[in-house]
Homo-oligomer: A and B are copies of this chain.
Amino acid sequence: MEKQKFNELLRKKAAELDEIIQSFLPAEEGLQKTVISAMNYSVLAGGKRLRPMLMLEAYRMCGGRGGEIEPFLAAVEMIHTYSLVHDDLPAMDNDSYRRGRETTWKVYGETMGILAGDGLLNLAFETALKAFDRVDGKDAEAMKRVAGALKTLAEKAGIRGMIGGQTADIEAEGRRESVTGEELLFIHRCKTAALIQASLTVGAILAGASEGQVEILEKCGEDLGIAFQIQDDILDVVGDSGELGKPVGSDAENHKQTYVTLCGLERAKEDVERYSKEAAALLGEFEADHSFLEQLFLTLIRRRR
């Protein structure tokens, strides 16, 4: 696909996803209004919607055509957002800016920052559970698919996935000895790749893909997630703070070991390309059209924010 046409399609799809995500956000009312405002502020900070986009593309590629995917699209973005809200807290990375706006705790205070993150994680499950109302309640197989998708999402977000990776990352930062390549890969795999894996596999599971197909997307998500995180490390060195919406060089300032400090910039760039291409090649196993998804994977190599 031509680059311009791809970018137009990307914008259109992101706008559609924004609309779906917004339809699941709670009304800002009641005595608990402040936490809801803080939650909505966080979700509406304008991310790339990469995770829901991967989920929807995987769902379609595996033949999914129903509405039960929609609550999951919103849920995965809520989980991603809560992780950013908590990561930015003073007791964590102490970040004041993200995507060109003040972080949630900076606007709403530290207490509301904690509660907004909790609220989003909880709302993610409340929202995903709505998928049960969108399948035939007499169809045990359809309900099983929703239950399986929920399990995958919960596992990948938890201590064997995202939270586990964040823990290992913080512990590696806090100690004297430098992090090994193996540890860094564990961190990237859990902290970043796990939720990207969940996005692809939840889409596939809901669409009723075979176990073999789900496994391929699991591997695909791992490669893609690692590529994505290495690119993040690269952008912290060579990126433009205006485009990124946050200061660059923060990793170096925090003496944080990254893929770039460990392997050097050239090797890091090569590896982003290698992992992304590996991920794209795995899509060849699917007969249905996946040209957009493939191109999406490859743009990650060249992304600047």
Contact = CB atoms under 8 A, between A and B. Distances in A.
B115 A163 contact: yes
Contact of A168 (B31, B137, B138, B144): B31
Interface in A156-195: 157-160, 163-168, 170-171, 183, 186-187, 190
Given A91-B110, A164-B32, A144 B155 contact: no
Interface size class of A (residues with CB under 8 A): 35 or more
Contacts of A126: 151, 154-155, 158
Interface in A23-48: 26, 30-32, 34-36, 39
Interface stretch (A6-14, A56-64, A117-125, A200-208): A117-125
Contact of A164 (B30, B112, B155): B30
24 contacts: A30-B164, A31-B186, A32-B167, A35-B163, A35-B167, A36-B159, A82-B118, A91-B91, A91-B113, A92-B114, A112-B170, A114-B114, A115-B166, A115-B167, A115-B170, A118-B163, A119-B158, A122-B163, A126-B151, A126-B155, A129-B150, A129-B154, A140-B140, A146-B147
Contact of A35 (B140, B146, B159): B159
Candidate in A132, A165, A186 with the most chain B CB atoms within 10 angstroms? A132
Given A26-B159, A30-B164, A111-B170, 17 more contacts: A32-B159, A32-B168, A35-B159, A35-B163, A36-B159, A86-B118, A92-B114, A112-B167, A119-B163, A122-B157, A125-B125, A126-B151, A129-B154, A132-B147, A140-B143, A143-B143, A147-B147
